[in-house]
């Protein structure tokens, strides 16, 4: 089989590997589609501190079960599955409180263990979630990015009364906007980015108002309209944003952070406590695959709005470079693995 392997930073090979056999409790997935994410590019470029090389990247993937290991029912052969990249131990403290996404021995497919940019991948059976036939392949491959938004929104129970502010209209901001509007019916979703084309995508994903903060300060625009967000999601993730978000927030607002910057943010206790702001963070997803599959079945989200390009896996280098260099035209880029 062919696998996309990052041998070391900045060296990507399409390697021929022997077909892996599923171990006890595992299934082998014949991959059909995979999505390129910022973290794949970070591993490729050597910017992911968790990555070990060589590594088959890819943690957003969909395919068919074509072999099962010991202890797995043969009835699963042929199932269409989306794969949860989060592998957890099931018994540590975070696992015991429903947060396997921060398991003390967390393994993420495509980061700590070989992932889905490959013609075949072996994964634990319980990570392979059955996708109903009514959900098309191109939506199924987008389940993982929407689980991130499910996790973010699941921290804060959005309501129709909320005035939400989403920083960043990249793939993560857009999935979050769709969930805030389509699932939670949030009354007003405001989106801020510095790229006009991305703000247009935000509108198409349901944003009620978009603000370009390249040439105008966000604070002034919101103040002029008397808007005080009650729910803020930082899907842009610059360390300076937390301070601004807390300043702009309504009293009693919730703020969700998604970033992994190691740069400090500068913020006072008073700015948080004076309004009793709740600050949440969100990493990966905690058992959100069935949640997103349900949303797709009910037509509450529209993944196709995010997909701008599709490449055959043989052109993965072109696909990643386009993804990295063209934020105006590119959002989600998919790879096909049909031979
Ligand atoms: P992206 O880079 O495609 O999108 C970020 C967007 O934010 C861009 O459109 C950019 O123009 C905009 N932006 C940057 N600084 C801004 C500012 N100061 N004000 C307004 N807009 C600004 O990235 P993507 O894939 O959407 O991911 C967003 C972030 O989420 C990344 O930092 C990524 O590391 C993080 N992430 C976190 C996850 C988690 O589980 N916590 C999972 C996936 C991504
Ligand atoms: Mn991703
Ligand atoms: Zn655990």
Domain ranges of the chain: 2-142+306-336, 148-281
Hey, what are 90's tokens?
């099931």
Q: Whose CA is closest to 216, among 193, 246, 198, 197? A: 193
Ligand 1 atom, smallest distance to 282 CA: 41
pLDDT at 240: 97
Residue of the nearest CA to atom 23 in ligand 1? 170
Please state whether the predicted TM-score (pTM) of the whole model is above 0.95: yes
Ligand found nearest the CA of 92: 3
Beta-sheet pairing, 120-124 with 26-36 = antiparallel
Burial of 172-207, coded b for 16+ CB within 10 Å and e otherwise, reads bbbbbbbbbbbbbebbbbbbbbebebbbebbeebbb
Q: Which backbone phi and psi does 184 adopt, to 5 degrees?
A: -100, -5
Q: Which backbone phi and psi does 11 adopt, to 5 degrees?
A: -125, 105
The pLDDT of 243-262, averaged and rounded, is: 97
Ligand found nearest the CA of 102: 3
Please write the tens of the pLDDT for every residue from 187-242: 999 999 999 999 999 999 999 999 999 999 999 999 999 999 999 999 999 999 99
pLDDT at 50 > cutoff 90: no
The pLDDT of 166-191, averaged and rounded, is: 98
pLDDT at 338: 80
Distance of CA 112 from the midpoint of ligand 3 (Å): 15
Other Cβ atoms less than 10 A from the Cβ of 208: the count is 16
Instruction: Tally the residues of the chain.
Output: 339
Task: Give the residues surrounding ligand 1 with Cβ less than 6 Å away.
Answer: 38, 148, 167-173, 192-195, 198, 213, 235-238, 241, 258-260, 282-284, 327
Confidence of residue 155 (pLDDT cuts 50, 70, 90): very high
Same fold, 2-142+306-336 and 148-281: no
Distances in Å between the Cα of 311 and the Cα atoms of 111, 264, 308 are 22, 38, 11
Residue of the nearest CA to atom 18 in ligand 1? 238
- CATH architecture for the domain at 148-281: 3-Layer(aba) Sandwich (3.40)
Contact yes or no for 230/160 (Cβ under 8 A): no
Ligand 1 atom, smallest distance to 236 CA: 7
Distance of CA 67 from the midpoint of ligand 2 (Å): 26
Confidence of residue 264 (pLDDT cuts 50, 70, 90): very high
CATH class of 2-142+306-336: alpha beta
Distance of CA 108 from the midpoint of ligand 3 (Å): 12
Ligand 1 atom, smallest distance to 241 CA: 18
pLDDT at 140 > cutoff 80: yes
Ligand 1 site-directed mutation target among 35, 36, 37, 38, most atoms within 8 Å of CB: 38
pLDDT at 49: 85
Q: What is the CA radius of gyration of the chain?
A: 20
Place of tokens 């842009």: 236
Based on the number of CB atoms within 10 Å of its own CB, is 251 exposed (0-12), middle (13-18) or buried (19 or more)?
exposed
Confidence of residue 309 (pLDDT cuts 50, 70, 90): very high
3-state DSSP assignment of residue 176: helix
pLDDT at 339: 65
Distance of CA 286 from the midpoint of ligand 2 (Å): 14
Distance of CA 170 from the midpoint of ligand 1 (Å): 6
The pLDDT of 318-338, averaged and rounded, is: 97
Distance CA(309)–CA(334), nearest Å, equals: 6
Residue of the nearest CA to atom 39 in ligand 1? 283
Is cis: bond before 54, omega within 30 of 0? yes
Contact yes or no for 40/8 (Cβ under 8 A): no
Other Cβ atoms less than 10 A from the Cβ of 99: the count is 17
């Amino acid at each position: 089989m062919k696998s996309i392997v990052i041998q070391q930073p900045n060296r990507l090979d399409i390697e021929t590997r022997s077909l892996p056999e599923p171990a006890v409790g595992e299934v082998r997935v014949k991959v059909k589609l995979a999505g390129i994410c910022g973290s794949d590019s970070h591993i490729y470029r050597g910017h992911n501190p968790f990555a070990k090389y060589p590594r088959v990247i890819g943690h957003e993937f969909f395919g068919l079960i074509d072999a099962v290991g010991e202890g797995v029912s043969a009835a699963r052969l042929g199932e269409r599955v989306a794969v949860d990249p989060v592998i957890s131990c099931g018994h540590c403290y975070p696992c015991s409180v429903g947060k396997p996404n921060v398991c003390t021995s967390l393994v993420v497919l495509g980061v700590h263990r070989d992932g889905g940019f490959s013609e075949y991948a072996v994964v634990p059976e319980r990570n392979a979630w059955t996708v109903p036939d009514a959900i098309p392949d191109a939506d199924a491959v987008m389940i993982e990015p929407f689980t991130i938004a499910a996790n973010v929104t699941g921290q804060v129970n959005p309501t129709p009364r909320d005035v939400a502010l989403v920083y960043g209209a990249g793939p993560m901001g857009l999935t979050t906007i769709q969930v805030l509007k389509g699932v939670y019916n949030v009354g007003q979703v405001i989106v801020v980015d510095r790229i006009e084309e991305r703000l247009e995508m935000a509108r198409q994903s349901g944003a009620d108002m978009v603000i370009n903060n390249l040439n105008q300060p966000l604070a002034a625009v919101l103040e002029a309209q008397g808007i005080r967000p009650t729910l803020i999601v930082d899907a842009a993730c610059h360390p300076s944003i937390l301070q601004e978000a807390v300043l702009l927030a309504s009293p009693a607002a919730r703020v969700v952070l998604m970033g992994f910057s190691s740069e400090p943010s500068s913020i006072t206790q008073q700015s948080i406590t004076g309004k009793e702001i709740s600050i949440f963070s969100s990493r990966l997803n905690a058992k959100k695959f069935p949640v997103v599959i349900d949303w797709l079945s009910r037509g509450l989200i529209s993944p196709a709005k995010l997909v701008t390009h599709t490449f055959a896996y043989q052109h993965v280098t072109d696909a990643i470079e386009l993804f990295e260099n063209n934020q105006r035209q590119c959002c989600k880029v998919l790879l096909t693995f049909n031979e």
